[in-house]
Amino acid sequence: MLLSNKQREDFLARFNEICEDEGFGESTWTIDLCYLLKRFHIKHCMYTILLGVNEDYRRHGYYDRIMHLDTQRVYSRFRDALDSGVQAVERSVSMKELVSHLTDRGPAIVLVDAGLLSCDLCKHNKLKAEFRRCFGSNYYRGHYVLLVGHTARRLLYRDPALSPRLCATAPRRLQQARLTSGTDHDIIFIYNSYR
């Protein structure tokens, strides 16, 4: 969603080659997205509470299936980040910082638990999310969304899993989905305006 039309066409035409070159297969970690952004000359900075792999996440079914495949690559990417021109900072980002970035600098890619985030504008999506909140869900579903702005009461985002439309959610709901176990509070600030 951040690539120009020309970059998107190049990426799609060479998708398998790029994935092989970047070293990831079926799973993409936030640090992998940073290397992709760097490849396409998109200025950014990643924030996370862990510059590595949290072995405790093996209890999540998703991570248990991929952890053994990705651990060494993820550690190597963090280790080599600075020399590769990728900035990764070990700390969480507050909601105030996030809103300030959206206002003054550009969008942000946020890792969320998809089961905890719902769009206030999409009834179908909202009903599924409310059902999961009420009756519980025993598994984590990592998903990236692109925050693009805000209003007085809502954060505006685009979800690559939905048709191209604008979604909105309350800051409290985004925080629940973003600060849950499995996300490491991962966020990537993009330093370009796409308005």
**Contact, 113 vs 180, CB < 8 A?**
yes
Q: Are 57 and 65 in contact (CB under 8 A)?
A: no
Distance CA 8, CA 57 (A): 32
Q: What is the pLDDT of residue 130?
A: 60
Question: Quick count: other Cβ atoms within 10 Å of Cβ 49?
Answer: 14
What digits encode the pLDDT tens for the residues 65-121? 667 778 888 899 999 999 999 999 999 999 999 999 999 999 999 999 888 888 888
* pLDDT tens digits along 10-47: 999 998 898 888 887 777 889 999 999 999 999 999 99
Per-residue pLDDT, 58: 67
Query: How far apart are alpha carbons 193 and 8 in whole angstroms?
Result: 18
Q: So what's the pLDDT on residue 121?
A: 82
Tell me whether residue 161 is exposed, middle or buried, using C-beta atoms within 10 angstroms of its C-beta: 0 to 12, 13 to 18, 19 or more.
exposed
Q: Amino acid identity, residue 145? A: V
Whether pLDDT at 3 is above 80: yes
Q: What is the pLDDT at residue 119?
A: 87
Domain boundaries of the chain, sorted by first residue: 5-44+51-89, 95-190
pTM attached to this predicted model:
0.87
Percent of the chain surpassing pLDDT 70: 83
Quote the longest CA-to-CA distance of the chain. 46
Please give the C-alpha separations between residue 158 and each of 26, 49, 103, 119, 187, in angstroms, as whole numbers. Answer: 22, 24, 16, 10, 15
